[in-house]
Amino acid sequence: MKVFHREFFYGRPVSLLALGCVVLLISCRGRGAIHTALTSSADTVPVEAVTGYDYDTVSAIGAEPERETGALSPTERRLAEAGLTEIVPDDTAILVHLVYATPENFTGKVLYTDLRRAYLLPEAARMLYRASECLRRERPGLRLLIYDAARPMSVQREMWNLVKGTPQYIYVSNPANGGGLHNYGAAVDLTLADGNSAPLPMGTPFDYFGQEAHIDREDELVAQGRITQQELDNRLLLRKVMRQAGFRPLRSEWWHFNAMTRAEARERYRAVE
């Protein structure tokens, strides 16, 4: 909420505040469109077959990466100097737990050795705060839990090297093709969390590389007992507030949302190294 407040409310007259509320209400009722970024076949081998990562032994919000206060690390400074905005955690609205800052991710390694803060392009950050506001109106008590945001291209290469030549390659953007929207600060991975910061059940953990994480045939997944109706409802609520804020979901990952198309990002911004 902090950036949102700074940019839209502080020091403005009451009339502007009222106007802002009306705009927010309208945007909370807006609609987005599903854009599919991946089109490959849905039949995949579980990722642990490739990486040894065992989803059953880790919780989605296990080892807590500490967000350093004060000085920025070299990577954080680079992202800030590239013009990205930090998503400041706020216990009542947005939680940040960068999964790649812990070894509890599909690579089994700490990929973010000095990145503890979530960064996004300013326009994507504004959209995220709008989504958080939409969620607060829709379901007070729930909050957004950020798993990943801006991702340096060097990390993208590490990820790609693990999945290239495997069936999981479809879940990671190829750096040789310019990477993906995380590399521009234009994509965010997230879930919903309850008042105790516990993630809501979504049918699969984050970065589950398989059909159960796809969003295009979820009714079948429920009918086949592969995810529950409650898990689907949670996904639908996440998608609803993210779409209302202008994000577009990814067909193959319930947790991933794009703030723009790759073409738009490449035309207007540079990927972060």
Chain positions 176 to 195 lying near ligand LVM2DEV6, rule: CB under 6 A, are 180, 182, 189
Per the annotation, does 189 bind a ligand?
Answer: yes
Closer Cβ to ligand LVM2DEV6, 116 or 182, answer by number = 182
Per the annotation, does 182 bind a ligand?
Answer: yes
| Helix, strand or coil, per DSSP, at residue 182 | helix
Closer Cβ to ligand LVM2DEV6, 40 or 197, answer by number = 40
- Catalytically annotated residues: 253
| Helix, strand or coil, per DSSP, at residue 175 | helix
Minimum separation from the CB atom of position 250 to ligand LVM2DEV6 (A): 6
Using a 10 angstrom Cβ sphere, with 0-12 exposed, 13-18 middle and 19 or more buried, the burial of residue 6 is exposed
Six-digit token string for 123? 């326009």
Residue number, nearest CB to Zn ion? 256
For residue 172, state whether it binds ligand LVM2DEV6 (rule: CB under 6 A).
yes
Looking at the chain, how many residues does it have? 273
For residue 150, state whether it binds ligand LVM2DEV6 (rule: CB under 6 A).
no
**Location of structure tokens 């609205």:** 93
HEC string for 213-236:
HCCCCHHHHHHCCCCCHHHHHHHH
| Binding positions for Zn(2+) | 182, 189, 256
| Binding positions | 182, 189, 256
Task: Please report, as ranges, the residues that interact with ligand LVM2DEV6 according to CB under 6 A.
Answer: 159, 171-173, 180, 182, 189, 207, 256
